[in-house]
Structure 1
Amino acid sequence: MIVSLDKILFCSAIAIELGDLQDFVPHSKDLGVGNLEASIQLSRILQTNPNIQEIVFIGSAGTYDPSKLFFPSYAIGRNYYYREISVWKKESYAPDLLPQFIQTESSDFGVKIVKSNNNFAIADVNSPNSITLIDPQSLPIWVETPMIENMEAFGIARVCQIMKKKFTSVFAITNAVGRDGSQEWNKNHKSMAEELIQIIKRFI
């Protein structure tokens, strides 16, 4: 059963990624950049709006391997990692007590998108606290390797896990992760954010 729109929060890191969707839904908010800021803002919203049952995060991401997930394209997040690049390179260590992997229950709205639109890839997401500039091909191969990088998804997923909310993340894949990533993001982000909002509006 699809929940009503008044029980769904549509959110993003920055306002441009919500576009005019804010005119069509009861709950929408840009949460800020990075895991920490996004998780704090989302926690505040959920504490004052306990009837919200689902979170739909709309963002942009870079692909770690354009040969497997090309850009420009669109993707829906599946699993969520918090893996700093220094940890990935085995130059630092993350204590086992630090949450580093999350699986969330997909929102009904997200399931509807997956079932209705074959143009979305399904991708595991990594959310470090900074933008990666090195070539991802130089990183060690992990048994479970995320496909895309976004700075907010893990923090939001963690709040949803703790507060028992369904969660879906939807991304415009705007660039390849690496030295030229920011330049590619600047070139593609605005138009892809607008197109992604138009796609999402079809399901409202």
Structure 2
Amino acid sequence: MFVCAGDTESFSYAKSVGVGLVQSALNLSRLCMLDNPKEIIFIGTAGSYDPKTPILSLFASTKATQIEESFILGHSYTPLDNGVQTKWPQTLDLPSVVVNSSHYIHTDTHFSNAMCHAGILLENMEFFAVLRVAQCYNVPCFGVFCVTNYTNEHAHRDFIANHESAKERLGSLYQKLKDFHDQ
């Protein structure tokens, strides 16, 4: 089953699960109960913590974190497991990365540097919840992401400027994903 956030980030071949951690967790759980998928492939855009990452680059992931800036600064802690990884039997011919999810788009370069130092490259609002739901339902899952922006003071402006191109790039990858899905 192909899924995406929805709203402005919809694809004809993917079911929308909602924007952010809560909507995507609730709606994907509902889809898992109703459709009983054999696998989940999430398609979405992402911001990069590393300004050396080319805009419109494609990545795959089976690992996500849910880390906020206050955690990195030592101003908060969590009793929850803030990392998740699912198993996928094969990989696409795309670089594999760790994706962080938050309800917020980070814009501080110090935070971005800390995330890069921790080995976390991308930020997407839904992916942690998608992986956690897939893990709960014991469904293999991975995500494919196209970079639209960097996590800096221009994040929103650059996201808007590159969003349509990123969606087109992800859409052109559909046949490869479908073939991969059907293996």
- The reply to whether TM is greater than 0.5 is yes
Pair 1:57 & 2:57 matched: no
1:82-141 deviation digits (Å, cap 9, x = unpaired): 11111122121112xx12111101265xx3xx1xx4xx3221110022111211467546
Question: Which residue of 5, 8, 12 corresponds with 1:13?
Answer: 5
1:46-75 deviation digits (Å, cap 9, x = unpaired): 11112x1100000000110122x3322111
TM-score by length of 1: 0.80
Report 1:71-110 matches (<5 A): 71-95=55-79, 98-106=80-88
Q: What amino acid maps onto 2:22 in structure 1? A: L
Pair 1:171 & 2:153 matched: no
Q: What amino acid maps onto 2:83 in structure 1? A: F
Conserved? CA contact 1:61–1:149, under 8 Å? yes
Which segments of 5 or more consecutive residues in structure 1 lack a partner in the other structure? 1-8, 22-27
What is aligned with 2:15?
Answer: 29
Pair 1:190 & 2:174 matched: no
Q: What amino acid maps onto 1:57 in structure 2? A: F
Conserved? CA contact 2:4–2:16, under 8 Å? yes
TM-score by length of 2: 0.88
Aligned CA-pair RMSD: 2.0
Residues 199 and 132 (structure 1), Cα distance of their counterparts in 2 relative to 1, 3 Å cut = same
Report 1:144-183 matches (<5 A): 144-183=118-157
Query: Aligned partners of 2:112 and 2:32: how far apart in 1?
Result: 40
Residues 136 and 12 (structure 1), Cα distance of their counterparts in 2 relative to 1, 3 Å cut = farther
Query: Aligned partners of 1:141 and 1:130: how far apart in 2?
Result: 15
Q: What amino acid maps onto 1:29 in structure 2? A: K
Query: Aligned partners of 1:157 and 1:144: how far apart in 2?
Result: 20
Which segments of 5 or more consecutive residues in structure 2 lack a partner in the other structure? 179-183
Aligned length: 178
Q: What amino acid maps onto 1:65 in structure 2? A: D
What is aligned with 1:124?
Answer: 98
**More displaced 10-residue stretch of structure 1: 147-156 or 80-89:** 80-89
Conserved? CA contact 2:5–2:18, under 8 Å? yes
Conserved? CA contact 2:56–2:169, under 8 Å? no
What is aligned with 1:3?
Answer: none
